[in-house]
Amino acid sequence: MSFAAATRIEQIQTMIGSLAAPAAAPQPSGAPGATSFAQTLATVRTPVAAQSGDGSAPFGAEIDAAAARYGIDPSLLRGLVRQESGFDPRAHSSAGAMGLTQLMPATASSLGVTDPYDPVQSLDGGAHYLRQMLDRFGNDPAKALAAYNAGPGAVARFGGVPPYAETQHYVQNILGGASA
């Protein structure tokens, strides 16, 4: 069996096993606006991170460090990584997005990311960009995630999560099924 196939089987088994795991309580980050962010997360089920065989999230320490650096709830960043790349640091979209946080080349470059396939750089760039979107949209995680997916212009134009099925699904998946 190829390494990729074995890895994918492990990911699927982990996802199945994580469905039965209880959701963790959201942890406020202490950053400005964290109270409203924590309140928002308290109204939704916390995303269940894909887990490795030992029960820890892939890149858990790196995700936690990037989240702390930018004052983001680690569960939000973990959910974004799960949704964007399935924790695959070599992920590459047909649109050209790359790495764990699926940064587009111009965005990655603007954030100082020189190798989007490097997990630490990708997580730092993705967390930095998510922090920018949280700041731009009043620390509203649904709007920030929608901006991460569809672009900040679309969120501004529609005054919230755009009526795009892909973006609505994206936000709902990360926030655990809450209304977007």
pLDDT in tens, 93-127: 999 999 999 999 999 999 999 999 999 999 999 99
What is this structure's pTM?
A: 0.69
Residue 5 has what pLDDT? 43
Residues of the chain where predicted confidence (pLDDT) is lower than 70: 1-56, 177-180
Contacts of 18 by beta carbon, 8 Å cutoff, 6+ apart: 48, 49, 50, 51
Residue 118 has what pLDDT? 98
Q: What would the two tokens of residue 62 be?
A: 């790196």
Burial (0-12, 13-18, 19+ Cβ within 10 Å), 104: middle
Residue 126 has what pLDDT? 98
Which residues lie across from 92 on neighbouring strands? Answer: 98
Q: Give 18-21 contacts, CB < 8 A, sequence gap 24+.
A: 18/48, 18/49, 18/50, 18/51, 19/48, 21/48, 21/51
Phi/psi of residue 19, nearest 5 degrees: -65, -30
Q: Write out the catalytic residue numbers.
A: 84
CA-to-CA dists, residue 81 to 18, 61, 62, 76, 139, angstroms: 16, 13, 12, 9, 19
The residue with tokens 């088994």 is 13
Residue 147 has what pLDDT? 98
Q: What would the two tokens of residue 123 be?
A: 């997580």
Residue spans of alpha helices (H) in the chain: 3-19, 34-42, 60-70, 74-85, 105-110, 119-136, 141-150, 152-158, 165-175
